Amino acid sequence: MAKEDPVAQIIFLVAMAIVFLPLILFIVSSVLKPVFIMLTIFSIIAIMTFGFMLIIEQEEEFTIPLVIAIVVLLISSGGWVMTASVIDSVPQTTEGKEQIEMYNTITEVPNTVSDSLNDALYTTIEEMCKTTDEDICNLMRTTIKTQEDLMEIRGLLNKGKKYTEIAEKIK
């Protein structure tokens, strides 16, 4: 079995990145936009704080932090504007719209499969309940409900939810 050529793999990855560039830009922009918004807010607060300290204290030691806060404000505002324009413009192009739709379809496949399996399981249990004892039927329903709750708690843990939110779900 021959090994893949590393140069060919790099060329393939670069080609795929170029083909999916609108989707990559959209996803990166969606992740970075809140970061830029928070940086903008923090830098505005820092500018006001250091500005007041410079005016009130009349000391030069607050000029460097003030300049840094202004630079951060300019960079974060620019990033905010750029990410917002990418988020607005990519879905308007046909390639971008198709790639976002494909990405959403791929990321929703596990949920669709899980929902289909749950529906089939519930249907099977309901059919079995027609011919079995009520205690067994209740036990099967409780088992499925417990399994769903555990899967939801695992999802919350994977998403990094706070313990209070998980505790509320357990109640």
Residues 64 and 141 in one domain: no
Q: Which of 66, 92, 118 is the last residue of a domain?
A: 92
pLDDT digits (tens, 9 = 90+) for 62-80: 888 889 999 999 999 999 8
pLDDT of residue 1: 40
Residues 121 and 150 in one domain: yes
pLDDT of residue 164: 65
Name which of 93, 106, 96, 82 is nearest 32 in CA terms: 82
Give the tokens for residue 49.
């704080």
Q: Specify the higher pLDDT residue, 15 or 41.
A: 41
The number of folded domains in the chain is: 2
Q: Which of 61, 92, 123 is the last residue of a domain?
A: 92
Structural domain contains residue 101: no
Residues 14 and 83 in one domain: yes
Structural domain contains residue 100: no
Structural domain contains residue 1: no
Q: Which amino acid is at 171?
A: K
Cβ atoms of 72 and 38 within 8 Å: the answer is no
Query: The domain containing residue 66 runs over which residues?
Result: 6-92
pLDDT of residue 135: 83
Mean pLDDT of 33-56: 90
Mean pLDDT of 105-123: 77
Cβ atoms of 17 and 24 within 8 Å: the answer is yes
Taking the C-alpha atoms of residue 121 and residue 98, their distance in angstroms, rounded to an integer, is: 34
Three-class SS of residue 20? coil
pLDDT of residue 2: 46
Q: Specify the higher pLDDT residue, 85 or 60.
A: 85
